[in-house]
Amino acid sequence: MIDTGDVEASSAASTTKPTERRTSAKLESASADTKVQHPSHSKSGHKRVKSKTDLDSKSLDTGKESISGLKIDGVKAKATKEPKQLSQKRPAEAEDDDELENKANKTIKKRKSKEKKEKVAMPLAVRTAVGSLKHSMYIGAHISAAGGVQNSVNNALQIGCNSFALFLKSQRKWTNPPLSPDARDQFKALCIEHKYDATKHILPHGSYLVNLAQADPEKAEQAYSCFLDDLKRCDALGIELYNFHPGNTGSNARPEAIARIAAQLNKAHKATKNVITVLENMAGSGNVVGSTWEDLRDIIALIDNKARVGVCIDTCHTFAAGYDIRSAEAFKETMDKFESIIGLSYLKALHLNDSKAPFASHRDLHANIGTGFLGLRAFHNVMNYLPFQGLPMVLETPIERKGPDGKTIEDKGVWAAEIKLLEGLVGADAASDDFKKDDQRLQDIGAEERKKHQNQADKKQQKTLDALFKKVSPKKKGKARTKETLDDEESSDAGCSHSDA
């Protein structure tokens, strides 16, 4: 089994000193059901990073034990009082009793609220000092900014992020309240306090509503206004990277759509100061722009100020689009193509996701690290590719699971575990028995899901072949899609897995 080392906290964020509270627990989550531990490092002479960060999933369910060993039992105390004997008390005395009872109840509620907040804020993993890794890999996740962007910093710290993504406002609405000065100032102060470089390692994600390739003038203006608002928020927060999905051609030609995307970016760059607009590569479903390196190259070619544009590689999208990264040789070939077609100088960030769907499926279905069709070897390639050093590397893997009451809950311990797993791959020996065992263990966990999606892909391919032989279109008969439908069309597989703002 791959071993996890002792991870030093590089930030003043930790409320507990690592030397005072050594953690020993199992990081298991029902979404991944994985015992996530660091792979053993190769004997490279670098300083070994030590930590025991396995966290028992039961502690996440009940909240009764934190990783520091502290118990946080739910407060179920009740206010005690003598039975009322109203017949023997004057009205004033009865009122005094009621007032005391109300005060006691308020005190209990405050205590419960305080303990609930402490339980939520309890760190699930200690943040790793990037300098202790063989390569400077800044790994994190797309965390929640609910209640204000300032909350994203502590949420990132809670799961041991060294980089993170967030929504700057609700991604489900076209209009949102403006960024408050208080939220802005708190965000900046917390980034400084906890040593998060907002110019390099924080990567906001754009709204899914925005389509910069939109041809309809009214809808194009709506999309641009929402997009520009986000960029201005980045400027106000001191953030210099902004990731977004390029857009959808609708019923229009791809070159026309690419030209509209570039035109909107040029206009937005002139209206803002420093933020770099980062194009995310896509899985290739429907009329989506950005599933080939050539699409991204063609957009960049039309940008006036090329210092203001970049690319984010999503590992799941890359694989689904037909670029293989599973073996060392395939990974090198894919990155060589990226370098020759786009150029590594434009690479600004990565999204780290395994894939539930098979190679070249053009389906955007994120899986937990090592459990999908990519497997752990692909992520070993990523974590040991030197040009990726210093870039924000953001997890968007599923964290939903069923709670004790049967309701779906988010288990952030999954991300805490996967961050440690990925950090453990830095400098690890992929030929070792421990690595191979861990790879197989994770593959076993995801076997059923992969089989399901492989069957779906096989059936789809067979239908296509049957249709070709019969000279019949494989598309199902139904209502003709209107131009408006095509413009707004979103693939059912196109959504990434994120926490809402």
Active site residues: 172, 205, 208, 245, 280, 314, 317, 351, 364, 366, 396
| Strand, helix or coil for residue 440 | helix
Tell me how far apart the alpha carbons of residues 311 and 331 are, in angstroms, rounded to a whole number.
17
Rounded-to-integer distance, Cα 366 and Cα 147, Å: 26
Extract long-range pairs of 91-94: CB within 8 Å, 24+ residues apart: none
Q: What DSSP character marks residue 366?
A: E
Distance CA 141, CA 418 (A): 9
CB 309 within 8 A of CB 279: yes
Q: Does residue 329 come out as left (phi exceeding 0), alpha (psi in the -120 to 50 range) or beta?
A: alpha
Question: Residue 92 belongs to what H/E stretch?
Answer: helix 91-121
- Burial class of 10 by CB neighbour count within 10 A (0 to 12, 13 to 18, 19+): middle
Hey, how many other C-beta atoms are within 10 angstroms of the C-beta on 182? 10
Hey, what amino acid is at 408? T
| Calpha distance 231→186 (Å, rounded) | 19
Chain centroid to CA 271: 28
The Cα-based distances of 398 to 51, 193, 313 in angstroms read 25, 30, 18
